[in-house]
């Protein structure tokens, strides 16, 4: 009993339970759900969406928000595709270029927030429009089609059975991120700044540097997500990233992240992404309207923040 109580207090237990229940329920209603083809589609969605969610999660960890996640991802995506088509760069160089762009955009957000002291909301709203504008200015809303065969093959390849290669970078990032937030000083600094930046500053943590690092990581993760989408779609669409905003908040919040900062969980966020993917897939499977996906995402966010609040109240003895 005490074990169960302790489990219920961890972030990943609730989402895991919900995931298992959802899988069992949907499988019992539709035998197709766990077919190899369906699982592959699920995993492809998870591969990209998890990175998008992490990109927001790391900013939620420092108690801020990043509206420009999608714009950075889109800019990195078209840089990746454009560098290969227009400049004829080999894929690894183009990849490095795109990731550097993402890192730079994120760091720029962090620097601006730090030196001006203006709320992250306003700064990232401004950079959202700047990055998106640069994207549209370069592409004039036309996609890049000249993606090399190697990248296309990577986007469609499977590792074993239904597991796509695209999932590999995501799993690596998940492990690195988990280790960073759990064990590395910089990860602990990020969480400390998020829970109380004043106290963190007094204990010798450079708050400014930590904020900039967190934003740089966020930009990098968004860029990886953008590149993966290019590999999957096999074209460099300028509209990549346009619909990431809601999703990027939904998964961390379902994973128990506290928006005030200082408390996030990589595994629970991953499970949050899995839940969103399963529900989206179920809506398609039962041929319920795909338009309703947005409604479901919104309801999920509301339910999750409500639950988190109840949980926080219970943990502190009810407030």
* Site residues (vs other proteins, CB under 8 A): 65, 112, 116-119, 121-123, 125-134, 136-137, 140-141, 242-243, 245-246, 249, 253, 259, 289, 291-299, 301-302, 305-306, 309
Residue closer to other proteins (CB basis): 130 or 158: 130
8 A C-beta contact, residue 24 and residue 279: no
Half-sphere exposure of 85 (CA within 13 A, CB side): 18
Shortest Cβ 294–other proteins spacing (Å): 3
Residue closer to other proteins (CB basis): 32 or 129: 129
d(CA 188, CA 318): 28
d(CA 306, CA 253): 10
Residue closer to other proteins (CB basis): 51 or 297: 297
Q: 280 CB contacts (<8 Å, ≥6 apart)?
A: 45, 293, 296
Shortest Cβ 155–other proteins spacing (Å): 24
Instruction: Kindly list the distances between the CA atom of residue 291 and the CA atoms of 43, 212, 233, 239, 288, in Å, as whole numbers in the listed order.
Output: 21, 37, 21, 19, 9
d(CA 286, CA 309): 32
Count of other CB atoms within 10 angstroms of residue 133 = 12
Residue identified by tokens 């290969």 is 84
**What does DSSP assign to residue 34?**
G
Shortest Cβ 125–other proteins spacing (Å): 6
Shortest Cβ 259–other proteins spacing (Å): 6
φ, ψ of residue 160 to 5 degrees: the values are -140, 135
8 A C-beta contact, residue 269 and residue 252: yes
Give the distance, in angstroms, between the CA of residue 243 and the centroid of all CA atoms in the same chain.
Answer: 12
Shortest Cβ 288–other proteins spacing (Å): 10
Shortest Cβ 292–other proteins spacing (Å): 6
Shortest Cβ 245–other proteins spacing (Å): 7
Shortest Cβ 212–other proteins spacing (Å): 17
Residue closer to other proteins (CB basis): 64 or 170: 64
The candidate with the shortest Cα–Cα distance to 155, out of 143, 146, 164, is 164
Residue closer to other proteins (CB basis): 43 or 60: 60
Residue closer to other proteins (CB basis): 205 or 245: 245
Residue closer to other proteins (CB basis): 88 or 290: 290
Residue closer to other proteins (CB basis): 43 or 278: 278
Count of other CB atoms within 10 angstroms of residue 46 = 23
């Amino acid at each position: 009993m005490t074990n169960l109580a302790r489990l219920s207090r961890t972030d990943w237990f609730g989402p895991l339970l919900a995931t298992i229940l959802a899988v069992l329920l949907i499988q019992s209603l539709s035998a197709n759900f766990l077919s190899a083809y369906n699982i592959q589609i699920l995993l492809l969605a998870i591969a990209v969406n998890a990175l998008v969610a992490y990109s927001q999660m790391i900013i939620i960890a420092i108690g801020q928000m990043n509206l420009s996640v999608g714009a950075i991802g889109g800019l990195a995506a078209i840089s990746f595709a454009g560098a290969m088509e227009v400049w004829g760069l080999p894929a690894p160089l183009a990849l490095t270029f795109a990731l550097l762009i993402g890192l730079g955009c994120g760091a720029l957000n962090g620097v601006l927030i730090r030196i001006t002291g203006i709320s992250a909301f306003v700064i990232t709203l401004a950079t959202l429009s700047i990055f998106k504008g640069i994207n549209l200015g370069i592409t004039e809303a036309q996609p890049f089609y000249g993606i090399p065969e190697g990248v296309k093959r990577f986007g469609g390849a499977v590792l074993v059975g239904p597991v796509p290669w695209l999932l590999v970078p995501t799993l690596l990032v998940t492990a690195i991120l988990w280790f960073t937030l759990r064990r590395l000083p910089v990860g602990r600094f990020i969480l400390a700044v998020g829970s109380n930046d004043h106290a963190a500053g007094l204990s010798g943590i450079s708050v400014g540097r930590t904020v900039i690092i967190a934003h740089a990581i966020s930009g990098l993760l968004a860029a990886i997500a953008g590149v993966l989408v290019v590999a999957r779609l096999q074209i460099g669409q300028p509209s990549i990233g346009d619909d990431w905003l809601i999703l990027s908040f939904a998964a961390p919040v379902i994973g128990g992240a506290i928006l005030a900062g200082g408390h996030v969980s990589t595994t629970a966020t991953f499970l949050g992404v899995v839940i969103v993917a399963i529900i989206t897939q179920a809506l398609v499977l039962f041929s319920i309207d795909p338009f309703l996906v947005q409604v479901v995402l919104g309801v999920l966010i509301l339910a999750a923040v409500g639950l988190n609040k109840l949980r926080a109240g219970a943990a502190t003895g009810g407030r």
